[in-house]
Amino acid sequence: MRGRVAVTDDVQVEHASNDRADKSVYILDKWYVAARLNEVSKHAEKAFKICGRDLILTRETRDQCTARDAATNKPVPCEISEDLIWTFIASDESRHADPGPVPGFGGPKGKVRFMEKVIIPAHQDDAVYGLLDPAHTPFVHRSPLWRGNGILKEKRKSFEPSQFGFTMMPHAPVNSDIYHLIGGAISVRIAFRLPGLRAEYIQNSKHCVLGLTALTPIDETRTVLRQIFYWDTPILGAIRPFATLFARPFLNQDVNIMALRQKNLGYRGKGMLVGDSDKQFLWYLSLKKAWNASGRCRKSFQNPLSPATLRWKT
């Protein structure tokens, strides 16, 4: 539960309590990334746990897979799309509902060029917080490889509601020099949607890079974070062999800070959600609440968000 108090300069502060009862609920009746296609061999089975459920995936062919609940042996909707295996995690009361289409992101050529994954030691909600907090970057991700001179700059971004989420409208990048590897005038657009999918489109008139971050809960205390890239620019193919040297330390910084955050809970520490920098996470909570209030039905769900402009420094 969270209580809001007003402070000076029109800043709103949310105090996060230690009552985790609301966090025991997963976001159900949604598609989750279970694996990259090449993680499951043809005609082989692989066991996974998603949202506390043990699943067995079987890859039949290049374009077909099946999944079943290990406890009940009942089938689970499973699809292959854009080089990823997706499974639909239904609530008990919606096990026969139409899952709808797998999320599509339009990754260049539909082929994963690079993926790195880590396990975040946190509940799904906390993992989403780490994903949506724009102000943590200069304090958690310290490296000249993915940031410039370290000077904080004010950001002003416009957002619009989108399907099951919200979108940061196209803008020119400010801090990250690595964007300019593509060359030319770069535009960045970032879209977030339930249950925990963040798509960052980095593009110019000739090329596009899609960075898809997918969060998949294992159980109430662990969440898989997959950083997945699609691209159509040759320069990134040339540096792909070295990408793990950059991606693994970057993601481990998120793992380490989240482990410290969970340690703080043991001392009954309270967090705060402050101002525009935390507004995206508050939007996520509103979306999650609206999804549950709709009966987790695609047709009756109404996005509660409105267009907004947010400001923060990073």
The CATH topology of domain 105-313 is: Naphthalene 1,2-dioxygenase Alpha Subunit; Chain A, domain 1 (3.90.380)
The Cα 105–Cα 210 span in angstroms is 8
Q: How confident is the model at residue 10 (pLDDT cuts 50, 70, 90)?
A: very low
Domain ranges of the chain: 30-89, 105-313
Is residue 214 within 8 A of residue 197, CB to CB? The reply is yes
95-109, 203-217, 253-267: which is most confident: 203-217
Q: Among the listed ranges 14-18, 90-94, 163-167, which one has the minimum average pLDDT value?
A: 14-18
Going through the chain in order, the beta strands assigned E by DSSP cover: 2-6, 12-16, 30-36, 45-50, 53-59, 65-69, 75-76, 78-81, 84-89, 114-120, 154-162, 165-171, 187-193, 197-203, 208-217, 223-231, 271-274, 308-313
What are the structure tokens assigned to 166, written together?
């919200």
pLDDT in tens, 203-250: 887 888 999 999 999 999 999 999 999 998 887 777 777 677 677 677
Amino acid at 147: R
Q: Does 30-89 carry CATH code 2.20.25.680?
A: yes
Question: Is it true that 30-89 and 105-313 share their CATH fold?
Answer: no
Residue 72 pLDDT: 93
Q: What are phi and psi of 248, to 5 degrees?
A: -65, -50
Under the banding of pLDDT at 50, 70 and 90, the label for residue 136 is: low
pLDDT digits (tens, 9 = 90+) for 22-35: 566 899 999 999 99
Q: Which backbone phi and psi does 140 adopt, to 5 degrees?
A: -105, -45
Q: Residue type at 200?
A: E
Q: What's the pLDDT at 291?
A: 95
CA distance 147 to 230: 21
Candidates 302, 303, 304, 298; CA nearest to 103 is: 298
pLDDT of residue 300: 92
